[in-house]
Structure 1
């Protein structure tokens, strides 16, 4: 049985951290949530665009480079220093591109789309848990921007750096795997935090008419069926603001409807736990 997300709700006195908020659906979501009354922490990589969005929504700009785990740690430190409460963490930043290795030694797509959001989430979790103690159950939420591209992904714990994924296809192969990792991360988050008032969801925004994905042949073809950034942001806005999400924590929404279609691996609890453990090790959280 499928369910649909209700209309957005008011967000006065609620703090929302949005990554990837300097453009696309992150910027559109920041605008909408600010209009609903939320206080927005605008996180982005580009200084000019990030500060411009922050000024527009009367929020605060935070800069980060997801290809550098130390930059993520620095971001978490600044957010924790500035924000006594965090009600919603929207892990919206994502990237697609050529094969590359980060300064931390990991595949760029894996690190930017999964490992860095994993690290940021875990560093902010104590603040989210504290916030949930005085908030209505389930109203403190962690939201992952995933994709229908998860259907083309395949997670291998022994190949998280995508060395053996086959044809790169402009990065879409690794991108699909990272979007599957987002769903596995969401489900393991839901399992681990089912008793402390935090809920976790992932969603597919649709293919958004923005600069994401560049101008390759696959991207150009998909843009013909693209939705606007405002339409793509609608699931994020509703997941962040509605008083009650009509689906259990851990669900994946295809735009406004759950459950969305996922690759079979998304339901593998053992794989989700193994991905969490390996992500802890690689991000330096383990030990």
Structure 2
């Protein structure tokens, strides 16, 4: 198997760290990206890997990360947009966007588009961690920052549907130039996700019962590792949503080309300097 350069965001914990460990053990060059300096450094040192610290609530951090990655790597074979979060109350980032929307969608959108030249030259795969929460979500192009009638679950589900829409629009725009895309649901994983939230999901993630019924990070990372190591067109189909290494059904809105195009254009306008 050819050695790949694989950038994983959200790799200081959970399925990102688990995927980084497995891919590094398989001989790939893994680049660890995380928000927490100590945990990010710890995972990177364990793997003898390059690492970068970036807070996705700050788009300038994303711009700096993209510049650092492009400067350090002539080739990036896989960009795994895995960083994400859940917030139980509406808050606004320093960039003026609703936090869940920015961290889960807008920041990875910006990172991917800033790295596009490198990704195209590398004939890269862009893999994004989504969720079954997208299934009943809605995306309002006129209110992407959830300024009206905010719901924590609604904002999270919308961001996960946006991940799928982004994946499909990225495929439509760039697959002919060599980019392959995939998004996936890792399952209910026992990680630190949402554990600080004063909300139903936070209570579930903190509870002993929740920990018993959830899968471990290694199992949650399985589809990410499989996609990263595989070859689009041979092992998997570009532009699709995956669960347990299989193409899965999701929200019918994920197939709305006008919605996907509109989200791309709105996102590009939001990150334009």
Shorter-normalised TM range: over 0.9
* Structure 2 equivalent of residue 4 of structure 1: none
**Which residue among 256, 259, 265 is the counterpart of 1:271?**
259
* Structure 2 equivalent of residue 255 of structure 1: 244
Q: Secondary structure at the residue paired with 2:176?
A: coil
Structure 2 CA distance, aligned partners of 1:116 and 1:246? 28
Q: Is the 8 A contact 1:165 1:173 kept in 2?
A: no
* Bigger relative contact order, structure 1 or 2 (CA pairs below 8 A, ≥6 apart): 1
Measure how far apart 1:226 and its partner are: 1.1
**Which residue among 54, 57, 65 is the counterpart of 2:55?**
65
Q: Is the 8 A contact 1:11 1:33 kept in 2?
A: no
- What is the TM-score with the length of structure 2 in the denominator? 0.93
Q: Secondary structure at the residue paired with 1:157?
A: coil
1:153 matched to 2:144: no
Measure how far apart 1:219 and its partner are: 4.0
Q: How far does the alpha carbon of each residue in 1:83-104 deviate from its partner, in whole angstroms, 9 at most, with x for none?
A: 1110000000001112100001
1:130 matched to 2:118: no
Q: How far does the alpha carbon of each residue in 1:151-198 deviate from its partner, in whole angstroms, 9 at most, with x for none?
A: 1311010010112345x2xx2221111000000000000001121121
1:233 matched to 2:221: yes
* Structure 2 equivalent of residue 21 of structure 1: 11
Runs of 4+ deviating beyond 6 Å = none
What does 1:60-99 align with in structure 2 at a 5 Å threshold? 60-97=50-87, 98-99=89-90
Q: How far does the alpha carbon of each residue in 1:92-137 deviate from its partner, in whole angstroms, 9 at most, with x for none?
A: 00011121000010100000000000000001110011112xxxxx
Q: Kindly tell me: are residues 41 and 103 of structure 1, through their superposed partners in 2, closer, same or farther at Cα, counting changes over 3 Å? A: same
Q: How far does the alpha carbon of each residue in 1:17-61 deviate from its partner, in whole angstroms, 9 at most, with x for none?
A: 000000000000000000111111100010000011111112111
Q: Is the 8 A contact 1:165 1:174 kept in 2?
A: no
* Structure 1 equivalent of residue 110 of structure 2: 119
Measure how far apart 1:230 and its partner are: 0.2
Aligned residues: CA RMSD: 1.5
1:54 matched to 2:37: no
Structure 2 CA distance, aligned partners of 1:278 and 1:213? 28
Where does structure 1 lack aligned partners over 5 or more consecutive residues?
1-9, 133-139
- What is the TM-score with the length of structure 1 in the denominator? 0.88
Structure 1 CA distance, aligned partners of 2:244 and 2:93? 31
**Which residue among 190, 212, 218 is the counterpart of 2:201?**
218
Measure how far apart 1:257 and its partner are: 1.3
Moved more, 219-228 or 151-160: 219-228
Q: Is the 8 A contact 2:169 2:264 kept in 1?
A: yes
